[in-house]
Amino acid sequence: MKTITSKQTNKKRKQSKIDDFLNRIVCGNAVEIMEQIPDGTVDLIITSPPYNLKNSTGNGMKDGRGGKWANAALQKGYSHHNDCMPHDEYVRWQRKCLTEMMRLIPENGAIFYNHKWRVQGGLLQDRQDILQGFPVRQVIIWRRKGGFNFNPGYFVPTYEVIYLIAKSGFKLSPKANGYGDVWEFTQEMNNEHPAAFPINLIDRIISSTNAEIILDPFMGSGTTALSAINFGRNYIGIDISPEYCKMAEGRIQRHIAQQRLI
Ligand SMILES: C[S@@+](CC[C@H](N)C(=O)[O-])C[C@H]1O[C@@H](n2cnc3c(N)ncnc32)[C@H](O)[C@@H]1O
C-alpha cells in the first residue's frame, strides 16, 4: 500500500473539502484516509473494527484449529487483514484510529465503537487499554439472539459492547434515551461479509441522533451507509479490502433502487 507522509497528509487535508468524501466508499487504510478529512466535519462515527480475534490465548479462534469458533466465517480473518496482530501493536493501532476519529467529530459529535470483551489468559480483556483517556460516556450491551458453533465447555456468548464516546455537547434525539442500554438485535446472517452489522442496530443508532454526516472507517459491506440512506443522512465509508468495497457499492446501489420503488 502507498504510504502517505504526514507532510503530504497536512497538505492534502488543507486542500480537501468534506464534500469530496460525501456518499462515497473510499478503498484504503482507515488511518491514512481519515488523515485527509478536515477537522470537525463528521457529526457521527459508527464502526466495528477488526477485533484481533485470531490473536487469542485459546478460548477464541486459534488459527482455525479448534476452539469455540472453529467453523465460524471469521476463522480465516478478513480478505485483506488477517486479524492476528501482536496485542500491543493492535492497541496502538486502535488508539491511533480513535485519535483520528476524535479529531473528525465536532464538539457535539459522538463515536459508537463496537467491540467485544473476552477472557485471555484467565483475565477479562475489557478493552480499557484501547479506550483509556477517550471520553467514554456509556457502554451499551448489544445482546445477539443465540450464537453458533460452540465448544461444549463454554456457554454460548451472546453479547457485544458498543462504547458511546462523546464530546461534551453531544445529545441524543428526543426520546431516544428511552431505549435503555441493553439492545437486542439478531446478528446478521444474510451477508457474504464475515462480520456484518445487522442494519436494525445501525438504524437504532442513527435515528437516536441528529447527525447529518456519518462515517464508518471500517465499513465492510456498507451497512452503515445503507442505514444513513434510510434516514436521508450522508455517509462516508472506508475499507481496506477492494472486495468489500465492491460489495458495499453493490449493496448501496440495490438499496437506493429498492427505495425508489417504494
Ligand atoms: C468487523 S468488519 C466491519 C463490518 C461492517 N460493520 C459491516 O457491516 O459489514 C471490519 C472491517 O475492517 C476492515 N479493515 C481491516 N483493516 C483495515 C484498515 N487498516 N483500514 C480500513 N479497513 C480495514 C476489514 O476489511 C473489515 O471489512
For range 211-222, the mean pLDDT: 98
Tell me, yes or no, whether 242 lies in a domain: yes
Output the residue whose Cα is nearest ligand 1's atom 18: 29
pTM greater than 0.95: no
Residue of 142, 145, 165 lying closest to 156 (CA atoms): 145
CB 140 within 8 A of CB 130: no
Q: What is the pLDDT of residue 84?
A: 80
Tell me, yes or no, whether 212 lies in a domain: yes
The amino acid at 246:
K
CB 37 within 8 A of CB 17: no
Asked whether residue 5 carries a pLDDT value surpassing 90, the answer given is no
- Centre of ligand 1 to C-alpha 148, Å, is 21
- Centre of ligand 1 to C-alpha 8, Å, is 25
- Centre of ligand 1 to C-alpha 62, Å, is 20
Tell me, yes or no, whether 92 lies in a domain: yes
**Cα torsion through 246, 251, 252, 256, rounded to 10:** 150
| Domain total of the chain | 1
- The residues, any chain, with a CB within 8 Å of residue 198's CB and separated by 6 or more, are 185, 186, 187, 188, 223
Print the domain residue range for 217. 6-261
**Closest ligand 1 atom number to CA of residue 248:** 9
Q: What is the pLDDT of residue 68?
A: 45
Tell me, yes or no, whether 19 lies in a domain: yes
Tell me, yes or no, whether 90 lies in a domain: yes
The amino acid at 57:
T
- Partners of 119 in the beta sheet? 124
CB 130 within 8 A of CB 142: no
User: 106: burial class by Cβ within 10 Å (0-12, 13-18, 19+)?
Assistant: middle
What Rg do the C-alpha atoms of the chain give, in angstroms?
Answer: 18
Q: Is 120 helix (H, G, I), strand (E, B) or coil?
A: strand
Give the CATH number for residue 221: 3.40.50.150
Tens digit of pLDDT for each residue in 65-94? 344 444 456 666 788 888 788 999 999 999
Q: E strand or H helix at 90, and its extent?
A: helix 87-104
**Closest ligand 1 atom number to CA of residue 223:** 8
Pocket of ligand 1 (CB under 6 A): 29-30, 48, 50, 78, 80-81, 193, 195-197, 218, 220-221, 223, 238-241, 244
Asked whether residue 109 carries a pLDDT value surpassing 60, the answer given is yes
Tell me, yes or no, whether 1 lies in a domain: no
Tell me, yes or no, whether 209 lies in a domain: yes
HSE, CB side, 13 Å, CA atoms: give it for residue 64.
Answer: 9
Of 261 and 224, more confident:
224
CB 29 within 8 A of CB 97: no
For range 90-102, the mean pLDDT: 98
Q: Is 248 helix (H, G, I), strand (E, B) or coil?
A: helix
- Centre of ligand 1 to C-alpha 245, Å, is 10
Ligand 1 pocket test: pick from 29, 240, 244 the residue with the most ligand atoms within 8 Å of its Cβ: 240
Tell me, yes or no, whether 199 lies in a domain: yes
CB 243 within 8 A of CB 79: yes
Q: What is the pLDDT of residue 7?
A: 60
For range 225-241, the mean pLDDT: 98
Q: What is the mean pLDDT of the chain?
A: 88
For range 142-165, the mean pLDDT: 82
